[in-house]
Amino acid sequence: MHISDGVLPISVTVGCYVASAALVAWSARRTRNEELPKLAVMTAAFFVASLVHVPFGPTSVHLIIPGLTGALLGPSAFLSIGLGLLLQSLLFQFGGLTALGANALMMGLPALACGWFFQRYKGRTQLRQAFVGGLAGAAGTALAAIILAILLVAGGEDFFGVAKIALLAHIPVIIVEGVVSAFTIGFLTRVKPALLQTSFLRQTKAAHG
């Protein structure tokens, strides 16, 4: 779920912009210059993955995948998510540009946290990697929901009720996201484990010679 324009107080909106600009700059610094075009192409892949809808009872939920993005891209994930959101705002119909900073924080911070968590605790066996990946996937969405609620509550006590509903609405997404992330990570450990190293860009490059 994205925040739309005009919801947050203007001070929070501007504050989020400043914070996410700083994080984007940090994230870009952690990515090597010549890797940036590659990161752009991979952002497209994550974007497509986030369009996948999964049926959940009578309705369907669509994946948000901040956790997976973090696990695969490491520190570059924030840049990738910011780019994806900018793209969504520019070309797809969702939202204007004033809420961009808040949305980037909402998706990007969980990605960084989950990326770190996954790399730190992934261990060596396939089963453990899939399990930790699932945890990271679920935690990513949960954190995003919590940040959304915090941002809404920043608007004053009038927004408490909406924040609660928004949190509840994310519970099915958290479950689906966790399970799908576990399967995706499990698949990658079998098929292309190199992708799960944060520095995989450099490794594949070395393989190319």
Range 93-122, binding other proteins (CB under 8 A): 93-98
Q: Which residues pair with 54 in a beta bridge?
A: 61
**# binding residues, other proteins (CB under 8 A):** 79
Least Cβ distance, residue 144 to other proteins (angstroms): 14
Q: What is the Cα–Cα distance from 140 to 69, expressed in whole angstroms?
A: 9
Q: Is the Cα dihedral 14, 17, 20, 22 positive or negative? A: negative
Beta strand extents in the chain (DSSP E only): 53-56, 59-62
Answer yes or no whether residue 76 interacts with other proteins by CB under 8 A. Answer: no
Note whether 183 binds other proteins by CB under 8 A: yes
Shortest spacing between CB 138 and other proteins, in angstroms:
12
Which range of residues in 105-113, 118-126, 138-146, 198-206 is near other proteins by CB under 8 A? 198-206
- Bridge partners of residue 56, in order along the sequence: 59
Interface pattern 144-163 for other proteins (x via CB under 8 A):
-------------xxxxxx-
Structure tokens at 164: 């609660």
Q: Is 181 in the site for other proteins (CB under 8 A)?
A: yes
Q: Residue 97 has which token pair?
A: 């540009």
Q: What are phi and psi of 70, to 5 degrees?
A: -65, -45
Q: Judged by CB under 8 A, which stretch of 45-53, 110-118, 119-127, 139-147 contacts other proteins?
A: 45-53
